[in-house]
């Protein structure tokens, strides 16, 4: 009996904890969104910080990222093509490759890439700011950190994931064309038809929305996880650990929900 009571209690505590985390997350998102709507936010300084964030999140890693996309698209397209050939389903291969890569795998990998690189960095930085009292100092100066510390990171994350996933998708389309039809314009017509079959404007809007959610998840969650850190230096790694776990679950959830919406 006692065992049952304790397990129910621990379950309740866990649920309450999740609720608190979720509430903090969405309240923070709401504040950031409200700030975005204020015209006074959009001054040159905020814009500069956003640009800096985009630079660190997207531009800095562009060569490495594109090389990685090139390799992974080439591999996956080749595997799909040769498998399809073995089973005599060549006509479905290009469609399958585009669907798998452009719509699902590359956005997912982009989100993971940004999460590992920028998400963890953001989480650590915010946790350190919190532990070092830097945020308190900003509060004392009546300078709201949201505008130049957090909101630009969210915007930068969204912009970066959307553009990087878009560029990766374009690169994969080109790689796919080269893998299937080789160099030359002979396959342009059939390839165009395949692309148009797969990508209509609903799919396009869904893809952009998904990437935007990915971008939000890989920045918003680390920021809020960092803000939760107790003011003890040894809690910083714990905060990063928790934040990254949540980011991972959020990315997988977004992917699963988008798949469910698309195919069910």
Site map for other proteins, 83-102, x if CB under 8 A? Answer: ---------x----------
Q: Which of residues 163-182 bind other proteins (CB under 8 A)?
A: 163, 166-167, 170
Q: Which of 196, 202, 232, 234 binds other proteins (CB under 8 A)?
A: 196
Q: Which of residues 140-159 bind other proteins (CB under 8 A)?
A: 140-144, 147-148
Output 204 or 245, the one with its CB closest to other proteins: 204
Stretch that binds other proteins, among 11-19, 52-60, 78-86, 255-263 (CB under 8 A): 52-60
Check binding of 73 to other proteins (CB under 8 A): no
Check binding of 187 to other proteins (CB under 8 A): no
Q: Which of 6, 82, 90, 200 binds other proteins (CB under 8 A)?
A: 200
Site map for other proteins, 25-44, x if CB under 8 A? Answer: ---------------x--xx
Q: Which of 25, 32, 58, 179 binds other proteins (CB under 8 A)?
A: 58
Check binding of 114 to other proteins (CB under 8 A): no
* d(C-alpha 228, C-alpha 250), whole Å: 18
């Amino acid at each position: 009996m006692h065992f049952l009571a304790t397990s129910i209690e621990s379950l309740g505590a866990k649920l309450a904890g999740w609720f608190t985390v979720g509430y903090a997350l969405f309240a923070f998102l709401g504040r950031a969104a409200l700030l975005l709507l204020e015209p006074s936010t959009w001054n040159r300084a905020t814009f500069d910080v956003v640009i800096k964030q985009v630079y660190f999140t997207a531009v800095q890693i562009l060569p490495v990222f594109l090389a990685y996309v090139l390799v992974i698209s080439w591999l996956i397209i080749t595997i799909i093509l040769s498998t399809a050939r073995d089973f005599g389903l060549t006509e479905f291969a290009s469609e399958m490759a585009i669907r798998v890569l452009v719509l699902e795998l590359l956005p997912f990998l982009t989100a993971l890439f940004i999460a590992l690189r920028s998400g963890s960095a953001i989480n650590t930085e915010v946790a350190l700011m919190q532990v070092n009292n830097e945020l308190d100092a900003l509060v004392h100066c009546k300078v709201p950190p949201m505008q130049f510390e957090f909101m630009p990171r969210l915007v930068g994350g969204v912009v970066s994931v959307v553009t990087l996933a878009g560029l990766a998708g374009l690169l994969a389309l080109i790689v796919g064309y080269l893998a299937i039809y080789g160099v030359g314009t002979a396959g342009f017509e059939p390839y165009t038809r395949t692309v148009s079959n797969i990508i209509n404007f609903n799919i396009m809007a869904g893809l952009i929305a998904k990437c935007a959610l990915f971008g939000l998840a890989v920045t918003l969650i680390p920021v809020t996880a960092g803000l939760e850190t107790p003011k003890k230096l040894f809690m910083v790694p714990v905060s990063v650990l928790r934040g990254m776990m949540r980011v991972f679950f959020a990315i997988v959830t977004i992917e699963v929900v988008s798949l469910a919406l698309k195919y069910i």
